[in-house]
Amino acid sequence: MKKIKMYNKLNAVNAFIFRIVHIDNVSWILDNGMHCNASETQATDYRVIGNKDLNDPSKFERYQAEALIYKHLPVEAFLGLVCYTSKEKSLLMKMVEKRTLNLSIYSRQGWFFND
């Protein structure tokens, strides 16, 4: 069994919330912020990506981090966006520039599930 390496320096300053979403949902999120499932504000055409392949405990723990938003996280609180390819990064840059947001955008293949 694969040993899970725990990060032992987690605190309120360096704890970050991340959420995996389909790129088709990003425009709505940039316009409305991030809303939890219990929020009254929901995208009508939200594209669900599902939670497949969560048998590995480390993947399940990373997936649970998506549940840490209480009601709403405004886009002004976002620190950045991460995508898989440079093509997606270019698309995200256009979305962010259109809204004159100050967000870092990174392309990181394998960053979330690299195993």
Does 113 fall in a domain?
Answer: no
Does 87 fall in a domain?
Answer: yes
Of 37-41, 63-67, 77-81, the range with the lowest mean pLDDT is 63-67
Terminal-to-terminal C-alpha distance of the chain = 14
**In which band, very low, low, confident or very high, does the pLDDT at 68 lie, cut at 50, 70 and 90?**
low
For the question of whether the overall pTM of this predicted structure is more than 0.75, the answer is no
Does 115 fall in a domain?
Answer: no
Q: What domain count does the chain have?
A: 1
The residues with which 114 forms a beta bridge, in sequence order, are none
Does 2 fall in a domain?
Answer: no
Domain that holds residue 82: 23-107
Does 102 fall in a domain?
Answer: yes
Does 17 fall in a domain?
Answer: no
| Residue 50 clears pLDDT 60, i.e. is over it | yes
Does 30 fall in a domain?
Answer: yes
